[in-house]
Structure 1
Amino acid sequence: MGSEDVKVVSFWVSPFGKRVEWALKLKGIEYEYIEEDIFNKSNLLLRLNPVHKKVPVLVHHHKPIVESFIILEYIDETWKQYPLLPHHPHQRALARFWATSVEQKLGKAGWVAMATSGDEQERAVKEATEIMEKIEDEIKGKEFFGGKNVGYLDIALGWIAHLIPVWEEVGSIQILDPSKFPAITSWMTNFLSHPVIQDTLPPRDKMLVYYHNRKNNWPSAFRNSVKD
């Protein structure tokens, strides 16, 4: 399939957009990447996603699909090679549960912990750490959430591996203590070492500059960044 059939509209640092790219690459699907300026949104984005006006957007045969988790399922249903979601319905349901729960809870807590200080930051770090404890139990004894291969839940939670350490540095905090979360730490190493993931990670130094700037613009940055 040529790249003219599949397009991804995203923003270079968007963890939601990275999910889409990882899924396509794991399945061996060629695509055209279109960079979007989320601070000066293009007419293309507004036309493709007029409801939420956010990235990512997958365009397949000129038809847009939005919301990263919906896009992941569309990709998995459209291209059958390298299945992402588990086969068993119960395992599929659990994967969806963990994906949405962690995003809603850890995404907000981690951002607040990075961008604030004092008691508010302390509460957010505590909340993020408690969520990590639950993830630790879920990944314990596994190479990936998907078993021996990167799967749907690895892609959904992959932002933890490359984004939380950046938030920790920017906010001068610690959420991921390797001694407390050895299973998550091992999973992060496995995930970030995967060739597909390695090839698509945004530059860490550029991410640090970006999130330092976003922290300085708190709280307006929070309203725009928790779900782009």
Structure 2
Amino acid sequence: MAEDLKLFRTWSSPYSLRIVHALKIKGLEYDTVLEDLSNKSESLLKYNPIHKKVPILVHNGKPICESLVILEYIDETWKQSPLLPQDPYEKAMARFWAKFGDEKVLLSIWSAFTSQGKEQEEAIATTANNLKFIEEQLKGKKFFGGETIGYLDLAFGWMANLISIFEEICNLKLVDAELYPLLSTWMDNFSNDPVIKELWPPRDRMVEKFKAMREPYLSKVIV
């Protein structure tokens, strides 16, 4: 019986892209439902009444929410091209670093992108410290998962796309190849992988979007 698979997402969401890339790696066909988060559909609100956000994967009528949870669901449901390590310890570590990426790395980079002056300097310093931990995880490996793209690569995938966009917009170098050679190489390897590359959103639209998102932060009145 054919699978009924729908993905609710926006065109630019880095969290949604995790799922887009995972489904592509798994070779799964699905229907895309593009959402406007300023005018959320009844279906989105029905399938994710708690957080009211994307991505949402609906499999045979059952919704799964939160991108990292969805990645694990996909990997457990469709066994081809495994994403998570099989070893329990390695699997736990992948989950740990994915959480670190969302709760520490992403937030510090976003703070550096949306701040100025001393606040930005502090955010850049925090980002640098966080990136050192990420760099360590790539020693002796092409991807975080080894020789092929896996769960942690998809979890960190936003870095390969958004960091260069943020750097362009604010004329700031966040990932220096001399300081982070392994991370820089990984970003190139991931973003240029044939499966990944064809699915990136248009860069010019992303630059335009994030310029607009950054502006309110910079226009805040500093007392």
Q: Shorter chain as normaliser: what TM range?
A: over 0.9
Residue 113 of structure 2 corresponds to residue 114 of structure 1:
yes
Letter in 2 for 1:28: G
- Return the letter of the residue paired with 1:38: L
Distance (Å, rounded) in 1 between the aligned partners of 2:216 and 2:61: 36
TM-score by length of 2: 0.94
Per the alignment, in what secondary structure is the counterpart of residue 64 of structure 1?
strand
Runs of 4+ in 1 over 4 A off after TM superposition: none
> How far did residue 140 of structure 1 move?
2.2
Q: How many residues align?
A: 218
Q: Is the 8 A contact 1:11 1:36 kept in 2?
A: yes
Q: Percentage identity across aligned positions? A: 47
Hey, what's the Cα distance between the residues in 1 that align with 2:166 and 2:39? 24
Quote the Cα distance in structure 2 between the aligned partners of 1:41 and 1:167. Answer: 27
Q: How much has 1:154 moved relative to structure 2?
A: 0.5
Any unmatched runs of 5+ in structure 1? Answer: 220-228
Whether 1:179 aligns to 2:178 is yes
CA deviations 1:12-51 (Å, max 9, x no partner) are 1111000011111101000111111112222121111000
The alignment status of 1:33 with 2:35, answered yes or no, reads no
Determine the structure 2 residue equivalent to 1:204: 203
Match of 1:78 in 2: 77
Tell me which amino acid in the other structure corresponds to 2:30.
Y
> Which residue is equivalent to 1:15?
14
Q: Which residue of 1 aligns with 2:153?
A: 154
**What TM-score, normalized to structure 1?**
0.92
- Aligned ranges 1:64-143 → 2 under 5 Å: 64-143=63-142
Question: Does the CA contact (< 8 Å) of 2:101 and 2:155 recur in 1?
Answer: no
| Residues 10 and 34 in structure 2, CA contact (< 8 A), matched pair in contact too | yes
Aligned CA RMSD, in angstroms, stands at 1.3
Residue 59 (1) aligns with residue 69 (2) = no
1:188-225 alpha-carbon deviations (Å, 9 max, x no partner)? 11111211101110111111100000011238xxxxxx
CA distance in 1, matches of 2:38, 2:216: 13
